[in-house]
Amino acid sequence: MLNEQQHPDMPLRRDIRLLGEVLGQIILKQLGKDVFEMIEGTRLLTKHSLQNDGNQTLLRLSEFLKGISPQHAVVIVRAFSHFLNLANIAEDIHRIRRIRWYALKHPEQPQPGSIAHGFEKLKKSNVSMQRIYETVSKLNIDLVLTAHPTEVMRRTLMQKFYGIASILQAMDKENPKRQQMLLKEKLHAEMTAIWQTGELRHKKPTPIDEAKWGFAIVESSLWQAVPRFLRELDYHLKVYCKKGLPLLTMPIHFGSWMGGDRDGNPFVNANLSKEVSLLARWMALDLYLKEINHISAALSMSDCSTQLRKEVGDESEPYRALLRPLRTKLLVAKEYIETLLSQNAAIDVNRLIEKQDILQPLLLCYQSLVECGAEAIAEDELIDLIRRVQCFGLTLLPMDIRQHKDKHMVLMNEIILANDMGHYSQWSEAEKQKFLIEQLEKVECSVNAKIELSDNASQTWETFLMLSTLPSDSVGAYIISMTQVPSDILLVCFFQKLAQIRKPLRVVPLFETLQDLQNAPTCMKILFGLKWYRQYIDHKQEIMLGYSDSGKDAGILTSAWALYQAQELLIDLAKKQDVILRFFHGRGGSVGRGGAPTHMAILSQPPGAMEGGIRVTEQGEVIRNKYALIDRAQRTLEIYVSATLEATLLPPQKPEPAWRTMMNTLSKQANHTYHQVVNDDSFMTYFQAVSPVNEISALCIGSRPAKRNDGQMHIDNLRAIPWMFAWTQTRFLMPGWLGVGAALNAGMQDNPDILRSMVKNWPFFQSFLSLIEMVLAKVDSDIFGMYNKLLVPESLQAFSERLIQDFHSTKAEIKAALGTEQLLDNNLPLKRSIVLRSTYLYPLHFLQAELLRRVRAAKQRAVDDDIPFADESNAHALLVTLSGIAAGMRNTG
């Protein structure tokens, strides 16, 4: 625990020192003195060179690592990788510690991002307490967990690192000396287990594995964090608004793409999605069964309300009597799910229990306890369980379905052709719309779908047939990748009707590329103009915005401005047509894929963007960083609610006309600079040489392929995740800043006063520049230069010099725009964290570049060109560097 005499980071330093010492002791015992001294010598050499800015020392380090054997390379990489993962845990624990310390030291000053801070800010802005209360009651925040291939760490190791976190939290308390010794012994045991566990998966995780990982996050963290967060919200509502959170109000829900995202993933099919849905239901039943058993044991009272007495008769323990049949229902339903999973049988929805089957008896218990003067019992574990039911339902994480629009086109072509109606793909857009609307307005479709289909079309159709058999609460939205025109959306509506889905999924267009974002308002205007369509969607429309692909397509600045403008136009359009609009933000972990601190990201949205609620993807390692620890998960939920409240009730001002003009200028210049680089004939050859993008595919980190097709790698078919992953590994993060420097330079030349006004007064622009500053602070051009020196042929060296010059220019322009001497002067904790990690990242980068050189040379000498690596010993060390650097950077891409 922190005290007033300590520097705020002293406990963090203590934890990191302890973890480093224990790791060193384990290495010494496991591998001997010589290996330990080799690792320690590498660390000290790096530390000395960084502290003294000694290029000569770095040169010595480079020369030493250049000659190292594969066996010793693996040991160094493992040691530094594990230390970086341990540092991550220590930092996460310290964040939790600082939150508690702040609350103790500043009880009258709520911490920024907290619910209390949000309420206080709204109060000072003269927002009425009634309006705050009503807005909280209507909040609609949906966090969607996705399994993109970004999580490098094995689940086995994750669980062990969570064990380290629990030990550190226990050691933070004032323990007797013997207890502290036992905790250190436990720490030593856990870290020994980590050292003796392999870092790499030997096969890619299946979509089922990914889904189980998502369920584990619910069970181990969110199951506790959600009710704790709601208690905090309820408390502050009582303090500020004089009334608590309504019993059944649930401002936050969760969803999942795990098992439902089939866009580009050939391993996700109808049977797999059904299995994931059933597994989710089984997990929910299992959790509720444990909770009902626990609650029943606690509710031993004999006094009850008249209503409850009517239900159970003369039972001496009425609460237990009421819950006993519920327990039986849960057991029977759980056994039925097990039968379905083992036999792959058809689902009989009548044999599944519903949310109300659990909720009604719990509410009756709650009301009875309140009536009998036992509010303290009702407001204890029982209310937590009621809120869990409201949040997670019987599916834990309702599953979205995502599919590429081209797959729908293939299916429709075959159906139309088999029905002797022509060639659907040759119809005009107007003809497609006319046909689909006519079919959707009929009582029944006049199209026969019982036809023989190709394998490609059959997989798509089987998904719709599978959806018709699932309980409606098992699924969320149907998302259409690469949506371009209204018929893309109407076609999915048509397929749902043709498949006789009882309660159709809401159909969500995903606009991803720059052109599609610019065309989105035109597309939706056609649909919103149809009275039939507005009735079909019940005047509620969800639209997904793609950050990753638009950033890869157009560059970071152009993408950000296009996303902002698209939202503005769609908001205005929806208001005119009386449609409630909810945006679904497809953000990744890195800035280049739309990642940003939550509070900043929400407050930088256009005015009115939050009025219909918000959905956000939480991807890969971001899930672990935000939700793996209960306290971190609770803090994340608080930030989402606080920021959404503020953005709803205190929306930012609309940008000035002069700002828009300037942004158009900046966007045009940034886009031009970006495409000058990525469209260069030699760029892809250069990218494959300087980065480990080709080698990433050998790392078993996700079920989905790195490319959208099997053709030659190109910027268009390369997925955004490996694109960012590769640049992150080289410590250059090019997609996160390329084009920004040239744009700012053009803006300063054009009208510096306008640019300064934007920096000072526009939250969107402030947020954008702050993110670019953070990216640039993580870049290390010396490390990137070393990759170029070792891996890039002489003919392409000019390309690297050009990029490094662009980086330094961008860095200078950002500092000038923000008015700072150094990057991150206003974010010292992050600055310190980057410096701390450098000592351990430098050797990893040096070794990665050297190992890339070795395995590529071996590949060129190999006779068999189909094998991924001809030099297995160096390849193993290389793959471990990928996960180690990802840990040090705290994201992969």
779 vs 782: CA distance, rounded Å: 9
* Alpha-carbon dihedral 148, 154, 156, 160, rounded to 10 degrees: -100
Helix (H, G, I), strand (E, B) or coil at 732: coil
Instruction: Tell me if 514 sits within 8 A of 484, measured CB to CB.
Output: no
Helix (H, G, I), strand (E, B) or coil at 136: helix
Intra-chain end-to-end CA distance of the chain, in Å: 34
446 vs 438: CA distance, rounded Å: 10
- Amino acid sitting at position 626: K
Helix (H, G, I), strand (E, B) or coil at 511: strand
Instruction: Tell me if 646 sits within 8 A of 139, measured CB to CB.
Output: no
Helix (H, G, I), strand (E, B) or coil at 512: coil
Give 776's Cβ-side CA count (13 Å radius).
26
Instruction: Tell me if 581 sits within 8 A of 550, measured CB to CB.
Output: no
Number of helical H runs and strand E runs in the chain:
38, 8
706 vs 830: CA distance, rounded Å: 31
* N residues, the chain: 893
Instruction: Tell me if 257 sits within 8 A of 617, measured CB to CB.
Output: yes
Tokens, residue 767: 């947020």
> E-assigned strands of 117-276?
141-146, 252-256
256 vs 393: CA distance, rounded Å: 14
Task: Give residue for tokens 């690592």.
Answer: 65
771 vs 594: CA distance, rounded Å: 10
| DSSP assignment letter at 593 | G
Let me know the angle formed at the C-alpha of 114 by 108 and 119, rounded to the nearest 5 degrees.
Answer: 70
Report residue 302: phi and psi, to 5°.
-100, -25
Q: Answer left, alpha or beta for residue 114, where phi above 0 means left and psi between -120 and 50 means alpha.
A: beta
Task: State how far the alpha carbon of 190 is from the alpha carbons of 85, 151, 197, 809, 889, in Å.
Answer: 14, 22, 11, 46, 24
Active site residue 525: no
Let me know the angle formed at the C-alpha of 212 by 268 and 621, rounded to the nearest 5 degrees.
Answer: 90
Helix (H, G, I), strand (E, B) or coil at 765: helix
| Pairing assessment for the beta strands 399-404 and 506-511 based on DSSP bridges | unpaired
Nearest residue to 553 (alpha-carbon basis) of 543, 565, 544, 563 = 563
- Amino acid sitting at position 204: K
Task: State how far the alpha carbon of 212 is from the alpha carbons of 122, 146, 218, 344, 742, in Å.
Answer: 40, 12, 10, 18, 45
Active site residue 202: no
755 vs 658: CA distance, rounded Å: 9
Nearest residue to 739 (alpha-carbon basis) of 661, 679, 654 = 679
Torsion sign over Cα 688, 689, 690, 695: positive
Nearest residue to 848 (alpha-carbon basis) of 876, 818, 812, 868 = 876
Which one of 236, 408, 552, 585 is the catalytic residue?
Answer: 552
474 vs 496: CA distance, rounded Å: 16
539 vs 641: CA distance, rounded Å: 25
Report residue 401: phi and psi, to 5°.
-110, 130
Which one of 72, 94, 117, 148 is the catalytic residue?
Answer: 148
The set of catalytic residues is 148, 552
